[in-house]
Amino acid sequence: MAKRTGEKHGVILEAAVRSFARTGYHRTRVADIAREAGVADGTVYIYFESKEDILVSLFQSLMNNFVKGLLSALAQCPDADEKLKTVIRYHLTTLSARPDQAKVTQIELRQIDQSINQGISKPLKSYFQLIEEVIEEGKKQGLYRRGLDTKTARKVVFGAVDEVVTCWVMSSKPYDLTALSEPVYELLAKGLR
């Protein structure tokens, strides 16, 4: 009976989100997903080519829904600035509402293991702190506005620079990364004022 085909596809995908969020991608066995979905191990392979395929399908499905929802939210916006505000609000609201999915997309899809995660956090913190100190100093010096939330500003600054580097590393064509310093600074510094 083919009419219900696809039902299990979704069931397995949902089971995978829960499993990955709970145990992490690498420590989740296909058998775990199967049990969570209430199907046999082999059934997973009727709907997905491999464990990897589950993760990728999962992400694609999440992104599809995300972009679809975002587009309809943007439809209401009168101008681009309103749209930008909507994009940010939608992004934060949506992931806020689905912590399991957020954990998969932000952590499992990127980080290797919890213990590695911890080992990385600590040395990273000193860099975070350094950035925060710069921002605080800027506030004291009257260069940046008082109302600024330092922690949030730090996340924005680090996230922005980090993404710029990531894109550069992943790019197939080489280009001058250093040359982006000025424009990135312009974008971020203005926001802080």
Residues that bind DNA (CB under 7 A): 1-6, 8, 27-31, 39-47, 50-52
User: By CB under 8 A, what part of segment 51-70 binds its own copies?
Assistant: 52-53, 55-56, 59-60, 63-64, 66-67, 70
24: left (phi over 0), alpha (psi -120 to 50) or beta: left
Q: Are 25 and 114 in contact (CB under 8 A)?
A: no
The amino acid at residue 158 is F
Separation CA 127–CA 161 (nearest Å): 13
Smallest gap from residue 94 Cβ to its own copies (A)? 10
**What is the contact mask toward its own copies in residues 72 to 111, using x (rule: CB under 8 A)?**
--x----xxx-xxx-xxx-xxx-xx--x--xx--xx-xxx
Separation CA 139–CA 129 (nearest Å): 15
Q: Give the one entry of DNA, its own copies, none that residue 46 binds, where binding means its C-beta sits below a cut-off of 5 to 8 angstroms depending on kind.
A: DNA
Smallest gap from residue 15 Cβ to its own copies (A)? 19
Q: Are 37 and 12 in contact (CB under 8 A)?
A: yes
Q: Give the one entry of DNA, its own copies, none that residue 45 binds, where binding means its C-beta sits below a cut-off of 5 to 8 angstroms depending on kind.
A: DNA
